[in-house]
Amino acid sequence: MSDSTLSALSGRTVLVTGATSGIGYETARQLAERGATVLLHGRTAEETRAAADSLVATAGVREDQLALYSADFAHLEEVERLAGAVVAEHPHLDVLVNNAGMAAPERHTVTADGNEIAFQVNFLAHYLLTCLLEPALTSDAGGRVGRIGRIVNVSSSLHRTASISWADPNRARRYSRLAAYAQSQLALTVFAADPRVTAVSVHPGICDTALLPLYAHEGVSPVEGAGHVVRLCDPAVEIVNGAYYDREERVDPAPAATEDRTVRRLNKLADLLVGRTA
């Protein structure tokens, strides 16, 4: 589907996590340019405000199309506050783009919540946020329950190299930054197959962002990568729950990503690590 055949998104409300730079910023820009109301998330209020000002100044986006939110995903209580604010102020959410991400650090790092930092920022925070946004994702503009919003997880081809260390998800005993990052991307891809949500995951290509050193020495522009994300936000593009896209092409993910047993096991682990009860 080319840009010329993509539908207008006026009347649609989309939350983009990690929207202050890279693919997240360009995703927000393209969504807003097509008429969507975009909820911008950034790690800090200052970063989010700067991104919004840039969108208004350079992309012709209207200020009233944007709503600004901040939360540091290394702190789960901030994720909870973010979800509460979104549900209160935007009770009807059409799309959630789980994009915020970080490279695992060279040295093993654990958050105040007790989780390996890349696993928390890249997966657990999005898992918690998605669960807490269920009221907004499952109600229509009139507040009636029944419709299901769409979730787009920005994942990575590196999920194919990963395994989830069930007995040691923090990888405290044997830490590798690449293995920790890949594990977080596999978990995010598995989460798209959760029957409780309507979700897909997408590898947007190797893009010239802060994560580029994990992949290669050069990549395509974030604008191009974001285009693959935005396409999946379009209601005119039909999706199958749990589908995985490599840029525009739907392909099979790693076998573990669609195993019912793995989905159930990951949900149980994630609920434990974020402090949710079944």
* Exposure class string for 121-145: b at 16+ Cβ within 10 A, else e: bbbbbbbbbbbbbbbbbbbeeeeee
Closest-CA residue to 165 (of 257, 266, 252)? 266
Closest-CA residue to 133 (of 148, 115, 123)? 148
Residue 181 known to be catalytic = yes
Other CB atoms within a 10 A radius of the CB of residue 229 amount to 24
Torsion angles phi and psi, residue 188, rounded to 5 = -65, -35
Pairwise CA distance, residues 39 & 42, whole Å: 10
Catalytic residue from among 25, 181, 244, 245: 181
Residue 94 in contact with residue 18, Cβ under 8 Å? no
Catalytically annotated residues: 181
